[in-house]
Amino acid sequence: MFDEYSEEIDTRYKGVGGWLLLFIISVIFLSPLFAVFNLYTTLSNDFLAFHLPMLYLIFLFLGGIDLLFALVGIIVGILLWSKNSSAVGFTQWFLMLKGVFILVGNLMTYFLIHEGRIPPVVKETLMMMILIWLIFGLIPVVVWYTYFAKSKRVAATYYSLNDPPPPTQELPPPPVFDNSEN
């Protein structure tokens, strides 16, 4: 039964397609476009630059890091497309770091807004935006991480069930010291 199951996985799910293809397209094309757009809108925001300069600098810093994540995402997408054996592990690390970045960036922005001298109406709007950024930032990270951990397509494309396990190295016996001469 295990052999029938592994053949079924290989024939039906092997290859880049479905949700895996959607992820690759999003990290290679969509994420960089959104990162550049967000950085551009931050740079062109005169209100923040003149009235809330510290928040403006934080947004620029976070936008730069987001652009860096987009560039690393392109590498992730290329590794996945080329069916590199280390692509899944690299992708999961990428997603974990992206989740940490989203959490830290939003917390940093929250504390800056909470402690800063910002008009109450602006503060309420920014707090709501932080909540939205947090939710819409973390949900895709969690969903994609789970996908790469549980997907039959990912398993069939990047892990072959028929590959032999890596060879184990025999350790040499520990050295024997002769202390009888002393």
The pTM score is 0.74
- Split at pLDDT 50, 70, 90, the class of 5 is very low
Residue 74 domain-assigned (yes or no): yes
Number of domains in the chain: 1
Asked whether residue 177 is domain-assigned, the answer is no
Query: What residue numbers bound the domain in which 97 lies?
Result: 9-158
Residue 181 lies in a domain: no
Answer whether residue 175 is part of any domain. no
**27, part of any domain:** yes
pLDDT score, position 11:
60
Report which DSSP code applies to 170.
P
Q: Which of 109, 102, 134, 105 is nearest to 123 (CA)?
A: 109
Residues 6+ apart with CB under 8 A from 138: 99, 102, 103
